[in-house]
Amino acid sequence: MKTRGNKISIIGAGFVGSTTAFALMTSGLTSEIVIVDINKNKAEGEAMDLSHGAPFVRPIDITSGEYSDTKDSDIVIITAGIGPKPGDSRLTCISKNLKIFQSIVPEVVKYSPDSILIVVSNPVDILSYITYKLSGFPSNRVIGSGTVLDTSRFKYMLGQHFEVDPRNIHTYIMGEHGDSEIATWSLTSIAGMNVDEYCDTCLKKCGGEMKLNIYKDVKEAAYKVIEKKGATYYAVALAVRRIVEAILSNENSILTVSSLLNGEYGIQDVYMGVPTIIGRGGVKKLLQVNLNKEEKDQLVDSSKVLKSVIDDSNI
Protein backbone atom coordinates (compact mmCIF):
# COMPACT_ATOMS: atom_id res chain seq x y z
CA MET A 1 0.00 0.00 0.00
CA LYS A 2 1.16 3.52 -0.76
CA THR A 3 2.29 5.40 2.34
CA ARG A 4 2.61 9.00 1.04
CA GLY A 5 3.40 10.90 -2.15
CA ASN A 6 4.48 9.14 -5.34
CA LYS A 7 5.33 5.45 -5.27
CA ILE A 8 7.67 3.97 -7.85
CA SER A 9 8.52 0.29 -8.20
CA ILE A 10 11.55 -0.98 -10.04
CA ILE A 11 11.60 -4.53 -11.35
CA GLY A 12 15.20 -5.71 -11.77
CA ALA A 13 17.89 -4.73 -9.28
CA GLY A 14 20.83 -5.06 -11.65
CA PHE A 15 23.08 -2.27 -12.92
CA VAL A 16 20.25 -0.36 -14.59
CA GLY A 17 17.62 -0.94 -11.89
CA SER A 18 19.83 0.01 -8.96
CA THR A 19 21.34 3.04 -10.72
CA THR A 20 17.83 4.19 -11.65
CA ALA A 21 16.80 3.81 -8.01
CA PHE A 22 19.78 5.98 -7.02
CA ALA A 23 18.94 8.62 -9.63
CA LEU A 24 15.31 8.72 -8.47
CA MET A 25 16.29 8.77 -4.81
CA THR A 26 18.40 11.89 -5.31
CA SER A 27 15.75 13.55 -7.52
CA GLY A 28 13.19 14.16 -4.77
CA LEU A 29 10.47 13.09 -7.23
CA THR A 30 9.25 10.15 -5.18
CA SER A 31 8.75 9.30 -1.53
CA GLU A 32 8.73 5.53 -1.97
CA ILE A 33 10.73 3.09 -4.06
CA VAL A 34 10.13 -0.67 -4.02
CA ILE A 35 12.70 -2.91 -5.70
CA VAL A 36 11.78 -6.43 -6.87
CA ASP A 37 14.21 -8.95 -8.34
CA ILE A 38 14.17 -12.70 -8.81
CA ASN A 39 17.45 -12.51 -6.89
CA LYS A 40 15.93 -11.42 -3.57
CA ASN A 41 19.29 -10.94 -1.86
CA LYS A 42 20.44 -8.54 -4.56
CA ALA A 43 17.23 -6.49 -4.29
CA GLU A 44 17.51 -6.44 -0.50
CA GLY A 45 21.17 -5.43 -0.58
CA GLU A 46 20.50 -2.59 -3.02
CA ALA A 47 17.56 -1.34 -0.93
CA MET A 48 19.69 -1.42 2.22
CA ASP A 49 22.65 0.35 0.61
CA LEU A 50 20.41 3.08 -0.85
CA SER A 51 18.44 3.50 2.39
CA HIS A 52 21.60 4.18 4.35
CA GLY A 53 21.86 7.46 2.41
CA ALA A 54 18.27 8.49 3.18
CA PRO A 55 19.25 11.21 5.69
CA PHE A 56 21.04 13.06 2.86
CA VAL A 57 17.97 13.38 0.61
CA ARG A 58 14.28 14.29 0.87
CA PRO A 59 12.23 11.80 2.94
CA ILE A 60 12.02 8.49 1.14
CA ASP A 61 11.35 4.82 1.94
CA ILE A 62 13.34 2.35 -0.13
CA THR A 63 12.49 -1.30 0.32
CA SER A 64 12.74 -4.59 -1.52
CA GLY A 65 9.97 -7.12 -1.68
CA GLU A 66 7.45 -9.19 -3.56
CA TYR A 67 5.06 -8.01 -6.26
CA SER A 68 2.41 -7.52 -3.56
CA ASP A 69 4.67 -4.82 -2.08
CA THR A 70 4.47 -2.88 -5.36
CA LYS A 71 0.70 -2.39 -4.81
CA ASP A 72 -0.67 0.99 -5.93
CA SER A 73 2.54 2.16 -7.61
CA ASP A 74 2.17 5.30 -9.70
CA ILE A 75 4.97 4.16 -11.98
CA VAL A 76 6.57 0.74 -12.47
CA ILE A 77 9.93 0.66 -14.22
CA ILE A 78 10.97 -2.67 -15.74
CA THR A 79 14.72 -3.19 -16.04
CA ALA A 80 14.83 -6.97 -15.51
CA GLY A 81 16.41 -9.30 -18.00
CA ILE A 82 19.62 -9.80 -19.87
CA GLY A 83 21.50 -7.26 -21.96
CA PRO A 84 23.51 -7.81 -25.16
CA LYS A 85 26.91 -9.46 -24.80
CA PRO A 86 29.94 -7.62 -26.24
CA GLY A 87 29.57 -7.61 -30.04
CA ASP A 88 25.88 -8.63 -30.02
CA SER A 89 22.90 -6.51 -31.13
CA ARG A 90 20.18 -5.68 -28.59
CA LEU A 91 17.73 -7.69 -30.70
CA THR A 92 19.50 -10.93 -29.69
CA CYS A 93 18.07 -10.60 -26.15
CA ILE A 94 14.47 -11.04 -27.24
CA SER A 95 13.74 -14.71 -26.60
CA LYS A 96 15.07 -14.76 -23.01
CA ASN A 97 13.58 -11.40 -22.10
CA LEU A 98 10.21 -12.27 -23.63
CA LYS A 99 9.88 -15.17 -21.16
CA ILE A 100 10.98 -12.94 -18.28
CA PHE A 101 8.39 -10.30 -19.24
CA GLN A 102 5.67 -12.96 -19.48
CA SER A 103 6.32 -13.68 -15.80
CA ILE A 104 6.65 -10.04 -14.67
CA VAL A 105 3.96 -8.02 -16.44
CA PRO A 106 0.86 -9.91 -15.17
CA GLU A 107 2.12 -9.53 -11.58
CA VAL A 108 2.77 -5.81 -12.01
CA VAL A 109 -0.68 -5.28 -13.55
CA LYS A 110 -2.40 -7.27 -10.80
CA TYR A 111 -1.10 -4.97 -8.06
CA SER A 112 -0.95 -1.61 -9.88
CA PRO A 113 -3.72 -1.59 -12.49
CA ASP A 114 -3.67 2.20 -12.78
CA SER A 115 0.10 2.63 -13.03
CA ILE A 116 2.24 3.88 -15.88
CA LEU A 117 4.76 1.29 -17.03
CA ILE A 118 8.20 2.34 -18.23
CA VAL A 119 10.13 -0.38 -20.04
CA VAL A 120 13.91 -0.14 -20.13
CA SER A 121 15.08 -3.73 -20.79
CA ASN A 122 16.30 -4.49 -24.31
CA PRO A 123 15.29 -4.72 -27.02
CA VAL A 124 13.28 -1.88 -25.53
CA ASP A 125 10.92 -1.18 -28.44
CA ILE A 126 9.94 -4.84 -28.81
CA LEU A 127 9.55 -5.34 -25.05
CA SER A 128 7.44 -2.16 -24.80
CA TYR A 129 5.13 -3.60 -27.46
CA ILE A 130 5.03 -6.92 -25.61
CA THR A 131 4.29 -5.14 -22.32
CA TYR A 132 1.47 -3.21 -24.01
CA LYS A 133 -0.03 -6.50 -25.24
CA LEU A 134 0.51 -8.44 -21.98
CA SER A 135 -0.76 -5.65 -19.72
CA GLY A 136 -3.94 -4.79 -21.58
CA PHE A 137 -3.21 -1.16 -20.59
CA PRO A 138 -4.00 1.65 -23.00
CA SER A 139 -0.88 2.52 -24.98
CA ASN A 140 -0.55 5.93 -23.30
CA ARG A 141 0.34 4.11 -20.05
CA VAL A 142 3.03 1.85 -21.55
CA ILE A 143 6.18 3.75 -22.42
CA GLY A 144 9.61 2.55 -23.51
CA SER A 145 12.72 4.55 -22.72
CA GLY A 146 13.13 4.52 -26.52
CA THR A 147 15.75 6.83 -27.96
CA VAL A 148 15.78 9.29 -25.03
CA LEU A 149 19.27 8.04 -24.17
CA ASP A 150 20.43 8.04 -27.82
CA THR A 151 19.15 11.61 -28.23
CA SER A 152 21.13 12.59 -25.14
CA ARG A 153 24.26 10.94 -26.56
CA PHE A 154 23.68 12.77 -29.85
CA LYS A 155 23.32 16.16 -28.13
CA TYR A 156 26.37 15.49 -25.97
CA MET A 157 28.54 14.59 -28.98
CA LEU A 158 27.31 17.57 -31.01
CA GLY A 159 27.99 19.76 -27.97
CA GLN A 160 31.54 18.41 -27.77
CA HIS A 161 32.09 19.04 -31.49
CA PHE A 162 30.68 22.57 -31.56
CA GLU A 163 31.80 23.47 -28.01
CA VAL A 164 28.21 24.40 -27.14
CA ASP A 165 26.16 23.42 -24.08
CA PRO A 166 24.29 20.25 -25.22
CA ARG A 167 21.11 21.67 -23.66
CA ASN A 168 21.18 24.36 -26.36
CA ILE A 169 21.20 21.80 -29.16
CA HIS A 170 17.79 20.73 -30.44
CA THR A 171 17.56 17.44 -32.24
CA TYR A 172 16.35 13.86 -32.00
CA ILE A 173 17.44 10.31 -32.60
CA MET A 174 14.32 8.47 -33.76
CA GLY A 175 13.27 4.90 -34.54
CA GLU A 176 14.64 1.73 -32.99
CA HIS A 177 16.83 2.05 -29.88
CA GLY A 178 19.43 0.11 -31.83
CA ASP A 179 21.23 -0.30 -35.10
CA SER A 180 18.49 1.08 -37.38
CA GLU A 181 17.96 4.31 -35.43
CA ILE A 182 18.09 7.56 -37.40
CA ALA A 183 19.63 10.99 -36.76
CA THR A 184 17.27 13.81 -37.70
CA TRP A 185 19.82 16.20 -39.19
CA SER A 186 17.11 18.19 -40.98
CA LEU A 187 15.66 19.13 -37.56
CA THR A 188 18.97 19.75 -35.82
CA SER A 189 19.35 23.36 -34.73
CA ILE A 190 21.57 25.50 -32.54
CA ALA A 191 20.50 29.02 -31.55
CA GLY A 192 17.72 28.89 -34.13
CA MET A 193 20.16 28.01 -36.93
CA ASN A 194 19.92 24.71 -38.79
CA VAL A 195 23.05 22.62 -38.18
CA ASP A 196 24.33 23.32 -41.73
CA GLU A 197 24.03 27.09 -41.17
CA TYR A 198 25.73 26.68 -37.79
CA CYS A 199 28.56 24.71 -39.46
CA ASP A 200 29.29 27.79 -41.56
CA THR A 201 29.96 29.75 -38.34
CA CYS A 202 32.22 26.99 -36.94
CA LEU A 203 35.95 27.25 -37.46
CA LYS A 204 36.45 23.48 -37.67
CA LYS A 205 35.32 23.29 -41.34
CA CYS A 206 35.07 19.50 -41.17
CA GLY A 207 32.79 19.16 -44.22
CA GLY A 208 30.26 16.34 -44.08
CA GLU A 209 32.53 14.10 -42.01
CA MET A 210 31.21 15.36 -38.70
CA LYS A 211 27.71 14.08 -39.49
CA LEU A 212 28.88 10.61 -40.48
CA ASN A 213 31.23 10.28 -37.53
CA ILE A 214 28.82 11.53 -34.88
CA TYR A 215 25.94 9.36 -36.14
CA LYS A 216 28.26 6.32 -36.09
CA ASP A 217 29.53 7.20 -32.60
CA VAL A 218 25.98 7.55 -31.27
CA LYS A 219 24.97 4.17 -32.70
CA GLU A 220 28.09 2.46 -31.42
CA ALA A 221 28.21 4.21 -28.04
CA ALA A 222 26.61 1.40 -26.03
CA TYR A 223 28.73 -1.26 -27.74
CA LYS A 224 31.91 0.63 -26.87
CA VAL A 225 30.92 1.08 -23.22
CA ILE A 226 29.83 -2.57 -22.93
CA GLU A 227 33.16 -3.67 -24.42
CA LYS A 228 35.05 -1.65 -21.80
CA LYS A 229 32.98 -2.15 -18.62
CA GLY A 230 30.37 -4.81 -19.41
CA ALA A 231 27.20 -2.69 -19.21
CA THR A 232 25.82 0.84 -19.55
CA TYR A 233 23.77 2.28 -16.70
CA TYR A 234 24.50 5.84 -15.54
CA ALA A 235 23.19 7.71 -18.58
CA VAL A 236 20.16 5.45 -19.00
CA ALA A 237 19.29 5.94 -15.33
CA LEU A 238 19.30 9.71 -15.90
CA ALA A 239 17.17 9.26 -19.02
CA VAL A 240 14.61 7.27 -17.00
CA ARG A 241 14.69 9.85 -14.24
CA ARG A 242 13.94 12.51 -16.88
CA ILE A 243 10.93 10.53 -18.17
CA VAL A 244 9.64 10.05 -14.61
CA GLU A 245 10.05 13.77 -13.94
CA ALA A 246 8.06 14.66 -17.08
CA ILE A 247 5.26 12.32 -15.96
CA LEU A 248 5.02 13.18 -12.28
CA SER A 249 5.39 16.93 -12.84
CA ASN A 250 2.89 16.84 -15.73
CA GLU A 251 5.44 18.75 -17.80
CA ASN A 252 4.15 18.17 -21.33
CA SER A 253 7.79 17.75 -22.26
CA ILE A 254 8.77 16.36 -25.64
CA LEU A 255 10.88 13.23 -25.27
CA THR A 256 11.72 10.49 -27.78
CA VAL A 257 10.19 7.72 -25.69
CA SER A 258 9.11 4.52 -27.39
CA SER A 259 5.40 4.91 -28.12
CA LEU A 260 2.82 2.96 -30.10
CA LEU A 261 2.55 4.32 -33.65
CA ASN A 262 -0.91 4.22 -35.07
CA GLY A 263 -0.50 5.44 -38.65
CA GLU A 264 1.93 8.27 -37.84
CA TYR A 265 4.67 8.47 -40.51
CA GLY A 266 2.66 5.75 -42.32
CA ILE A 267 3.71 3.26 -39.61
CA GLN A 268 1.24 1.03 -37.82
CA ASP A 269 1.32 -1.14 -34.69
CA VAL A 270 4.99 -0.73 -33.74
CA TYR A 271 6.58 0.84 -30.67
CA MET A 272 9.58 3.05 -31.41
CA GLY A 273 11.24 6.31 -30.42
CA VAL A 274 9.45 9.39 -31.75
CA PRO A 275 9.07 12.88 -30.27
CA THR A 276 6.18 12.47 -27.83
CA ILE A 277 4.47 14.84 -25.40
CA ILE A 278 4.72 13.33 -21.92
CA GLY A 279 2.73 14.35 -18.86
CA ARG A 280 0.88 12.95 -15.87
CA GLY A 281 -1.19 10.47 -17.88
CA GLY A 282 1.89 9.19 -19.71
CA VAL A 283 1.84 9.70 -23.47
CA LYS A 284 -0.32 12.71 -24.35
CA LYS A 285 0.47 13.02 -28.06
CA LEU A 286 2.83 11.56 -30.64
CA LEU A 287 4.23 14.28 -32.84
CA GLN A 288 4.64 13.87 -36.58
CA VAL A 289 7.70 16.01 -37.14
CA ASN A 290 8.74 17.22 -40.59
CA LEU A 291 11.44 14.79 -41.65
CA ASN A 292 12.99 15.02 -45.09
CA LYS A 293 12.34 12.19 -47.58
CA GLU A 294 15.54 10.29 -46.76
CA GLU A 295 14.91 10.44 -43.01
CA LYS A 296 11.28 9.41 -43.41
CA ASP A 297 12.32 6.41 -45.52
CA GLN A 298 14.93 5.47 -42.90
CA LEU A 299 12.30 5.69 -40.17
CA VAL A 300 9.98 3.39 -42.10
CA ASP A 301 12.89 0.97 -42.62
CA SER A 302 13.59 1.06 -38.88
CA SER A 303 9.94 0.21 -38.16
CA LYS A 304 10.23 -2.76 -40.57
CA VAL A 305 13.20 -4.12 -38.60
CA LEU A 306 11.11 -3.99 -35.42
CA LYS A 307 8.00 -5.37 -37.08
CA SER A 308 9.89 -8.40 -38.39
CA VAL A 309 11.17 -9.22 -34.88
CA ILE A 310 7.63 -8.89 -33.51
CA ASP A 311 6.30 -11.16 -36.28
CA ASP A 312 9.05 -13.74 -35.63
CA SER A 313 8.31 -13.72 -31.89
CA ASN A 314 4.67 -14.79 -32.48
CA ILE A 315 3.40 -12.24 -29.98
What are the residues binding ligand NAD (CB under 6 A)?
Answer: 11-17, 37-39, 42, 79-84, 93, 100, 103-104, 120-122, 124, 145, 149, 177, 231-233, 236
Shortest spacing between CB 196 and ligand NAD, in angstroms: 29
Residue nearest to ligand NAD (CB): 14
241-279 burial string, b = 16+ CB within 10 Å, else e? bbbbbbbbeeeebbbbbbbbbeeebebeebbbbbbbbbb
**52 annotated active-site:** no
Contact 175, 273 (CB under 8 A): yes
Report d(CA 50, CA 138) in Å as an integer: 33
Determine the 3-state secondary structure of 268 from DSSP: strand
Report d(CA 237, CA 243) in Å as an integer: 10
Determine the 3-state secondary structure of 12 from DSSP: coil
CA 184 from centre of chain = 18
Report d(CA 38, CA 225) in Å as an integer: 26
Nearer to ligand NAD, 14 or 175 (CB): 14
Nearer to ligand NAD, 37 or 295 (CB): 37
Q: Which of 52, 161, 170, 177 is catalytic?
A: 177
Shortest spacing between CB 106 and ligand NAD, in angstroms: 12
Nearer to ligand NAD, 124 or 267 (CB): 124
Shortest spacing between CB 123 and ligand NAD, in angstroms: 8
CA nearest 292: which of 190, 200, 195, 185?
185
Nearer to ligand NAD, 19 or 140 (CB): 19
Shortest spacing between CB 149 and ligand NAD, in angstroms: 4
Contact 33, 21 (CB under 8 A): yes
The neighbour count for residue 55, using CB atoms within 10 Å, is 7
Instruction: Return the bridge partners of 277, or none.
Output: 254, 285
Angle at 283 between CA 57 and CA 11, to 5 degrees: 50
Nearer to ligand NAD, 190 or 239 (CB): 239
Shortest spacing between CB 207 and ligand NAD, in angstroms: 31
User: What element of type H or E holds 45?
Assistant: helix 40-51
* Residues annotated catalytic, as ranges: 177
